[in-house]
A and B are shown apart, each in its own frame.
Chain A
Amino acid sequence: MIAPSPLQGFSAGALALLMHGLFLTALVFSVSWKALPEMPVYADLWNALPPLAGSEADVPSDAQPPVPPLMPEMPPPPPRAAPIPELQPAPPPPRTAPAPPPAAKPDIVLEADAKAREEARRKEEAQRQEQQARQVAEETRRREEARQLAQQHQQEELRLAEEQLRQESARRADATRREALEQARRELDAEMARQAQADLARESAQIRRTQDRIVLSARVRTILEYQERIRRKIQSVMTRCDQVPGNPEVVYKVQLLPTGEVLRMHMERSSGNAICDQLVERAILKASPLPLPVDKEAARDFLREPLELKSRPNEDPATEARG
Chain B
Amino acid sequence: MSIQRLFIPFVLMWCGLAAALPARAAMTIEIVGAAANRIPVAVVPFEVKTVGAAADPAEVVADDLGRSGRMRIIGGRQLPAQPSQPEQVDHGQWRAAGADALLFGQVLPASDGRVELRFWLVDVIRQNTLAAMSLLVHPSGMRPAAHRIADIVHEKLIGEPGAYSGRIAYIVKHAGAYELQVADADSQNAYTVARSREPIISPAWSPDGSRLAYVSFEHKKPVVYVQRLVDGQRTAVAMYRGSNSAPAWSPDGGRLAVALSKDETSQLYLIDANGGTPQRITYGGALDTEPIFSRDGNWLYFTSDRGGSPQIYRATVNGGSPQRVTFDGGYNVSPALSPDGKLMAFVHRREGRFHIAVMELESGQTRVLTDTSLDESPSFAPNGRSILYATLVNGRGVLATVSVDGSIRQRLSQSGDLREPVWGP
A308 cross-chain contacts in B, Cβ below 8 A: 26-29
Q: Is the CB of B39 within 8 A of A279?
A: yes
A274 at the interface (CB under 8 A from B): yes
B160 at the interface (CB under 8 A from A): yes
A220 cross-chain contacts in B, Cβ below 8 A: 13-14, 16-17, 20
Q: Is the CB of A239 within 8 A of B39?
A: yes
Q: Is the CB of B17 within 8 A of A236?
A: no
Q: Which of A20-28, A161-169, A227-235 contacts B (4 or more CB under 8 A)?
A: A227-235
B133 at the interface (CB under 8 A from A): no
Q: Which of B31-55 contact A (CB under 8 A)?
A: 31-39
Complex alpha-carbon distance, A275 and B6, angstroms: 48
B30 at the interface (CB under 8 A from A): yes
A239 cross-chain contacts in B, Cβ below 8 A: 34, 36-39, 100
B327 cross-chain contacts in A, Cβ below 8 A: none
A314 at the interface (CB under 8 A from B): yes
B1 cross-chain contacts in A, Cβ below 8 A: 210
Q: Is the CB of B37 within 8 A of A242?
A: yes
Q: Annotate B1-30 by CB proximity to A: 1 below 8 A, 0 otherwise.
A: 101001001100110110111000111111
Closest CB in chain A relative to B310 CB, distance in Å: 31
Closest CB in chain B relative to A244 CB, distance in Å: 8
Q: Annotate B371-400 by CB proximity to A: 1 below 8 A, 0 otherwise.
A: 000000000000001000000000000000
Q: Is the CB of B95 within 8 A of A276?
A: no
Closest CB in chain A relative to B230 CB, distance in Å: 35
Q: Annotate B188-211 by CB proximity to A: 1 below 8 A, 0 otherwise.
A: 000000000000000000000000
Complex alpha-carbon distance, A323 and B100, angstroms: 32
B324 at the interface (CB under 8 A from A): no
Q: Is the CB of B29 within 8 A of A230?
A: yes
B30 cross-chain contacts in A, Cβ below 8 A: 231, 310-312, 320
Number of interface residues of A (CB under 8 A): 53
B361 at the interface (CB under 8 A from A): no
Q: Is the CB of B35 within 8 A of A227?
A: no
Given the known interface contacts A239-B39, A285-B125, the answer about A231 and B16 at a Cβ–Cβ threshold of 8 Å is no
A286 at the interface (CB under 8 A from B): yes
Closest CB in chain A relative to B390 CB, distance in Å: 25
A99 at the interface (CB under 8 A from B): no
Q: Is the CB of B39 within 8 A of A320?
A: no
Given the known interface contacts A213-B6, A216-B13, A285-B125, the answer about A301 and B31 at a Cβ–Cβ threshold of 8 Å is no
Closest CB in chain B relative to A281 CB, distance in Å: 6
B126 at the interface (CB under 8 A from A): yes
Closest CB in chain B relative to A266 CB, distance in Å: 13
Closest B residue by C-beta to A303: B27
A323 cross-chain contacts in B, Cβ below 8 A: 19
Q: Which of A296-323 contact B (CB under 8 A)?
A: 301-302, 305-317, 320, 323
Closest CB in chain A relative to B243 CB, distance in Å: 41
Closest CB in chain B relative to A78 CB, distance in Å: 83
- Among the listed B21, B27, B36, which residue makes an inter-chain contact with A238, where contact means beta carbons less than 8 Å apart? B36
Closest CB in chain B relative to A170 CB, distance in Å: 54
B123 cross-chain contacts in A, Cβ below 8 A: 278, 282
Q: Is the CB of B17 within 8 A of A223?
A: yes
- Among the listed A206, A301, A315, which residue makes an inter-chain contact with B33, where contact means beta carbons less than 8 Å apart? A315
Chain A to chain B contacts (Cβ below 8 Å), 8 pairs: A213-B10, A217-B9, A227-B27, A231-B31, A278-B123, A285-B125, A306-B26, A313-B33
| New A-B pairs, 10, CB < 8 Å, besides A238-B33, A317-B32, A323-B19 | A213-B13, A216-B13, A220-B13, A223-B27, A231-B30, A238-B31, A286-B125, A309-B28, A310-B29, A311-B30
User: Which residues of A does B touch, CB under 8 Å?
Assistant: 206, 210, 213-214, 216-217, 220-221, 223-224, 227, 230-231, 234-243, 253, 273-276, 278-283, 285-286, 301-302, 305-317, 320, 323
